[in-house]
């Protein structure tokens, strides 16, 4: 059986490789577009290629966490592409000045550091789960996807100032908890 | 657990974020190919390539044993096979029953509070695999590098050494040394000198200078060689299976690759690989050797797992990947990227042409 629009999500969940090929065929142009928008200023094509590969591998590895149908999949994929691109960008510019074209990417290094270190670990999920639903959403948009306050405010139906305020308070809370987690010892 | 992906279900991106860029079929194929390689790697662990000399790329094979247990990890890696995978999971398929055929060496040298022991060695007539362990009184950190000087393999006119070492606990490490001889025969006994003079602790960048000198010999496992000399050619590429050597653990296929001048003139990168199946429906995994010779005439080979005893024929399918690339240096020029932003370029490397050729399979009758 071959993957098509109706069955590819199911087949991905069953780890059928042809479903991943289907996703590449259908969505590569979108993934490339989303990634390119973030990474183009670096002018390093190999980073774009690596990031594309990483996005599809992440989908393969994490498909069981996806909920919904084809439309939702497209959105989920874009969020992952944005998340990965942002992550690659952040790593690439870590020791460089952040381009003035992307001022949103300048974030508090202490929390950022902690988040990067905790990435992909259960602790991070636990940590994020300590926030309430709106704060959680704001945090993911801000720190994982690099969205600016204005766009976040529109999504959660709050004013920009209210979003900033929540970020400030949430950051303090997370920072404290992240430090505790780290001190608590996390064998890698 | 990568639970963060669950949260992504709730995030809405703005419509302006959904940008599509043109993608060619070639690009799609490249992405798929890369993904497949990544998935394969994930299944097998990480494959390491070592570039030994210009134009000579050698992929070490490995086989290993340790009749040794480590108190701190005794519960997790007491079994030989596990230790083998512990060092190099990627290649473990080759030597599943090597323990039976390896030779215990058990030589130890102590210097500067560090004891290095050569545990076992295995020589399949092509490559020598040596397992060793390192015990230290002090903590040495996560990553070590072993440096050797004036080490030698008797009668070999070219060698490829590869050493990997992995931490077991704070004071114990296990390692695997692979020595290949680029296809020259060194006889049925390999005489080795391994002279370690430095241990580098990568994290702290500190070096322990000492002397750990080993000299020992390993007998080759019994082997049977079948001369084949069958060829397959297409478009100026000729592949000849010279011979097949059967050892108790592996099957080594020796190949000669000949290329016409027009192929060399046009293509920059020519990669030969081949897959092997038998009449019992088995597919064999293998590892390429390095090559030696001239660009138009290279002798190389590949080591596969042991062939199914019930098989009567082997089918070898050569395929060649050809690539032409170009590096263009020019005056810096400004151009707009897909988003209308200005980028400055002064050189580009691009694949100008790409071709994959599948040659006619070569079928070999196996002899008893």
pLDDT, tens digit, 9 for 90 and up, residues B160-211: 666 778 888 888 888 888 787 655 566 788 888 888 988 888 777 788 889 9
Interval B226-255 mean pLDDT: 90
Total number of domains in chain A: 2
| Residues contacting B134, CB < 8 A, separation 6+ | B114, B115, B116, B117, B144, B165, B172, B173, B174, B175, B199
The whole-angstrom separation of Cα A76 and Cα B6 is 9
The whole-angstrom separation of Cα B146 and Cα B178 is 13
For the ranges A126-130, B112-116, B207-211, B361-365, which has the lowest average pLDDT? A126-130
Please state, for a pLDDT cut of 70, what percent of chain B lies above it: 71
* Nearest residue in A to B14, CA atom: A151
* Residue B49: band (very low, low, confident or very high) from pLDDT cuts 50, 70, 90: very low
CB contact (8 A) between residue B11 and residue A40: no
Alpha-helical runs (H) found in chain B: 4-7, 25-44, 80-88, 261-266
CB contact (8 A) between residue A155 and residue B12: yes
Interval B286-306 mean pLDDT: 78
- Which of A92, A127, A153 is the last residue before a domain boundary? A92
Interval B322-330 mean pLDDT: 69
CA distances from B239 to B317, B356, B361 (A): 10, 15, 10
Nearest to A43 among B13, B20, B343 (CB): B343
* Residue B248: band (very low, low, confident or very high) from pLDDT cuts 50, 70, 90: confident
The whole-angstrom separation of Cα B113 and Cα B135 is 8
Residues of each domain in chain B carrying CATH 2.60.40.1630: 50-219
Question: What residues in B contact A60, CB-CB < 8 Å?
Answer: 35, 39
Question: What is the bridge-based pairing of β-strands B160-167 and B172-180?
Answer: antiparallel
Q: Is the pLDDT of residue A51 over 70?
A: yes
Instruction: Provide the pLDDT for residue B77.
Output: 29
Cα A148 to chain center, whole Å? 14
Whether A154 maps to a domain, the answer reads yes
The whole-angstrom separation of Cα B140 and Cα B337 is 49
Q: Of B32 and A120, which is predicted with more confidence? A: B32
Instruction: Provide the pLDDT for residue A182.
Output: 55
Q: What is residue B16's three-state secondary structure?
A: helix
Instruction: Provide the pLDDT for residue B346.
Output: 56
* Nearest residue in B to A48, CA atom: B31
Cα A135 to chain center, whole Å? 16
User: B278-299: buried (b, 16+ CB within 10 Å) or exposed (e) per residue?
Assistant: beeeeebebbbbbbbbeeeebb
- Which of A92, A116, A133 is the last residue before a domain boundary? A92
Whether A141 maps to a domain, the answer reads yes
Averaged pLDDT of chain B: 74
The whole-angstrom separation of Cα B87 and Cα B2 is 26
For the ranges A43-47, A56-60, A136-140, B213-217, which has the lowest average pLDDT? A43-47
Q: Is the pLDDT of residue B84 over 80?
A: no
Whether A102 maps to a domain, the answer reads no
The hierarchical CATH code for the domain B224-365 is 2.60.40.1640
| Residues contacting A129, CB < 8 A, separation 6+ | A136
pTM, to two decimals: 0.44
Question: What residues in A contact B343, CB-CB < 8 Å?
Answer: 40, 43
Nearest to B2 among A28, A49, A61 (CB): A61
Interval B261-277 mean pLDDT: 87
Provide the residue count of chain A. Answer: 188
Nearest to A21 among B4, B13, B32 (CB): B32
Ranges of beta strands (E only) in chain A are: none
- Optimal mutation site among A13, A22, A28, interface B, most CBs of chain B within 10 A: A28
Return the ∠ at Cα B131 (arms to B151 and B160), rounded to 5°: 40
Please state, for a pLDDT cut of 90, what percent of chain A lies above it: 23
CB contact (8 A) between residue A62 and residue B12: no
The CATH number for A30's domain is 1.10.1740.10
* Residue B114: band (very low, low, confident or very high) from pLDDT cuts 50, 70, 90: very high
Domain B50-219 falls under CATH 2.60.40.1630: yes
Chain B residues interacting with chain A (CB cutoff of 8 angstroms): 1-14, 17-23, 27-28, 31-32, 34-36, 38-39, 337-339, 341, 343-345
Q: Domain span at residue A73?
A: 8-92
Q: Of A27 and B163, which is predicted with more confidence? A: A27
The whole-angstrom separation of Cα A36 and Cα A31 is 8
Contact B253, B304 (CB under 8 A): yes
CB contact (8 A) between residue A78 and residue B9: no
* Nearest residue in A to B38, CA atom: A57
Instruction: Provide the pLDDT for residue A108.
Output: 41
The whole-angstrom separation of Cα B131 and Cα B306 is 21
Q: Which of B251, B281, B28 is nearest to A26 (CA)?
A: B28
Interval A85-108 mean pLDDT: 57
Interval B45-64 mean pLDDT: 27
* Residue B93: band (very low, low, confident or very high) from pLDDT cuts 50, 70, 90: low
Q: Are residues A123 and A164 in the same domain?
A: yes
Instruction: Provide the pLDDT for residue B362.
Output: 95
Whether A97 maps to a domain, the answer reads no
Nearest to B7 among A29, A82, A140 (CB): A140
- Which of A45, A67, A92 is the last residue before a domain boundary? A92
Q: Are residues A121 and A57 in the same domain?
A: no
Q: Is the pLDDT of residue B266 over 70?
A: yes
Q: Is the pLDDT of residue B68 over 70?
A: no
Averaged pLDDT of chain A: 77
Query: For chains A and B, what is the number of CB pairs under 8 angstroms?
Result: 129
The whole-angstrom separation of Cα B106 and Cα B245 is 29
Please spell the DSSP secondary structure of B126-150, one letter per residue. Answer: SEEEEEEEEEESS---S-EEEEE-S
Which sign, positive or negative, has the C-alpha torsion A19, A25, A31, A36? positive
Q: Of A177 and B237, which is predicted with more confidence? A: B237
- Optimal mutation site among B35, B333, B343, interface A, most CBs of chain A within 10 A: B35
Interval B128-157 mean pLDDT: 82
Whether A3 maps to a domain, the answer reads no
* Residue B223: band (very low, low, confident or very high) from pLDDT cuts 50, 70, 90: confident
Q: Are residues A29 and A86 in the same domain?
A: yes
The CATH number for A170's domain is 1.10.10.10
> Which token pair is A39?
């990474």
Q: Is the pLDDT of residue B14 over 50?
A: yes
Nearest to B11 among A34, A122, A141 (CB): A141
Whether A161 maps to a domain, the answer reads yes
Q: What is residue B228's three-state secondary structure?
A: strand
* Residue B153: band (very low, low, confident or very high) from pLDDT cuts 50, 70, 90: confident
* Residue B50: band (very low, low, confident or very high) from pLDDT cuts 50, 70, 90: very low
Interval A111-140 mean pLDDT: 67
Nearest to B23 among A28, A41, A141 (CB): A28
CB contact (8 A) between residue B20 and residue A30: yes
Question: What residues in A contact B35, CB-CB < 8 Å?
Answer: 20, 24, 53, 56-57, 60
- The CA distance from B339 to the nearest CA of chain A, in Å, is 7
- Name the CA dihedral angle for B178, B184, B190, B195, rounded to a multiple of 10 degrees: -50
Helix H or strand E encompassing B216? strand B206-219
* Long-range CB contact pairs, B341-350, < 8 A, 24+: B341/A40, B341/A41, B341/A101, B343/A40, B343/A43, B344/A43, B345/A43, B349/B325, B350/B325, B350/B326
Query: B120: number of CA atoms within 13 Å, CB side?
Result: 18
For the ranges A144-158, B137-151, B346-360, which has the lowest average pLDDT? B346-360
Alpha carbon distance, N-terminus to C-terminus of chain A: 40
Residues of each domain in chain B carrying CATH 2.60.40.1640: 224-365
Q: Is the pLDDT of residue B218 over 80?
A: yes
Nearest to B35 among A56, A82, A101 (CB): A56
Instruction: Provide the pLDDT for residue B74.
Output: 27
Q: Are residues A173 and A111 in the same domain?
A: yes
Q: Is the pLDDT of residue A129 over 70?
A: yes
Please state, for a pLDDT cut of 90, what percent of chain B lies above it: 15
Q: Are residues A33 and A87 in the same domain?
A: yes
Interval B103-128 mean pLDDT: 85
Whether A59 maps to a domain, the answer reads yes
User: A23-33: buried (b, 16+ CB within 10 Å) or exposed (e) per residue?
Assistant: bbbbbbbbbbb
Q: Of B110 and B178, which is predicted with more confidence? A: B110
Categorise residue A68: left if φ over 0, alpha if ψ from -120 to 50, beta otherwise. Answer: left
- The CA distance from A22 to the nearest CA of chain B, in Å, is 10
């Amino acid at each position: 059986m071959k993957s098509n629009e109706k069955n590819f999500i199911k087949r991905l969940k069953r780890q059928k490789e042809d479903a991943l090929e289907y996703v590449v065929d259908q969505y590569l142009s979108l993934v490339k577009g989303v990634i390119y928008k973030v990474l183009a200023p670096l002018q390093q094509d190999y980073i774009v290629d690596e990031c594309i590969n990483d996005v599809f591998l992440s989908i393969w590895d994490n498909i069981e966490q996806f909920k919904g149908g084809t439309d939702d999949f497209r959105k989920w994929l874009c969020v992952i592409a944005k998340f990965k691109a942002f992550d690659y960008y952040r790593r690439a510019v870590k020791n460089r000045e952040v381009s003035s074209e992307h001022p949103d990417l300048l974030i508090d290094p202490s929390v950022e550091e902690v988040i990067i270190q905790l990435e992909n670990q259960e602790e991070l999920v636990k940590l994020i789960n300590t926030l309430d639903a709106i704060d959680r959403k704001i945090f993911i948009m801000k720190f994982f996807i690099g969205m600016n306050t204005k766009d976040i405010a529109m999504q959660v139906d709050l004013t920009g100032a209210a979003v900033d305020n929540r970020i400030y308070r949430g950051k303090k809370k997370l920072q404290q908890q992240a430090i505790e987690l780290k001190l608590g010892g996390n064998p890698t | 657990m990568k639970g963060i992906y669950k949260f992504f279900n709730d995030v809405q991106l703005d419509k302006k974020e959904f940008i599509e860029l043109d993608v060619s079929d070639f690009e799609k194929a490249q992405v798929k190919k890369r993904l497949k390689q990544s998935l394969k790697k994930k299944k097998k662990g990480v494959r390491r390539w070592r570039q030994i000399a210009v134009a000579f790329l050698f992929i070490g094979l490995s086989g290993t044993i340790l009749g040794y247990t480590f108190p701190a990890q005794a519960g997790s890696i007491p079994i030989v096979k596990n230790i083998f995978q512990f060092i190099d999971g990627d290649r473990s398929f080759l030597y599943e029953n090597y323990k039976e055929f390896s030779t215990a060496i058990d030589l130890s040298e102590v210097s500067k509070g560090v004891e290095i022991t050569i545990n076992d060695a295995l020589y399949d007539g092509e490559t020598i695999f040596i397992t060793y362990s390192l015990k230290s009184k002090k903590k040495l950190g996560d990553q070590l590098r072993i440096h050797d000087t004036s080490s030698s393999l008797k009668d070999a006119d070219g060698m490829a050494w590869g050493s990997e070492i992995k931490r077991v606990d704070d004071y114990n490490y296990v390692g695997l040394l692979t020595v290949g001889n680029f296809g020259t025969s060194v006889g049925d006994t390999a005489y080795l000198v391994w002279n370690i003079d430095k241990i580098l602790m990568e994290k702290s960048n500190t070096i322990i200078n000492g002397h750990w000198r080993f000299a020992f010999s390993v007998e080759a496992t019994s082997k049977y060689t079948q001369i084949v000399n069958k060829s397959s050619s297409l478009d100026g590429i000729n592949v000849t299976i010279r011979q097949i050597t059967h050892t108790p653990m592996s099957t080594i296929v020796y190949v000669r690759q000949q290329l016409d001048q027009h192929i060399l003139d046009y293509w920059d990168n020519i990669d030969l690989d081949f897959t092997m199946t038998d009449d019992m429906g088995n597919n064999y995994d293998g590892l390429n050797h390095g090559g030696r010779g001239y660009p138009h005439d290279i002798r190389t080979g590949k080591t596969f797992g042991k062939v199914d005893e019930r098989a009567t024929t082997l089918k070898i399918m050569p395929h060649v990947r050809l690539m032409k690339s170009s590096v263009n240096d020019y005056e810096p020029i400004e151009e707009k990227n897909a988003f209308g932003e200005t980028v400055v370029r002064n050189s580009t490397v691009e694949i100008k042409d790409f071709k994959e050729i599948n040659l006619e399979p070569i079928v070999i009758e196996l002899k008893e």
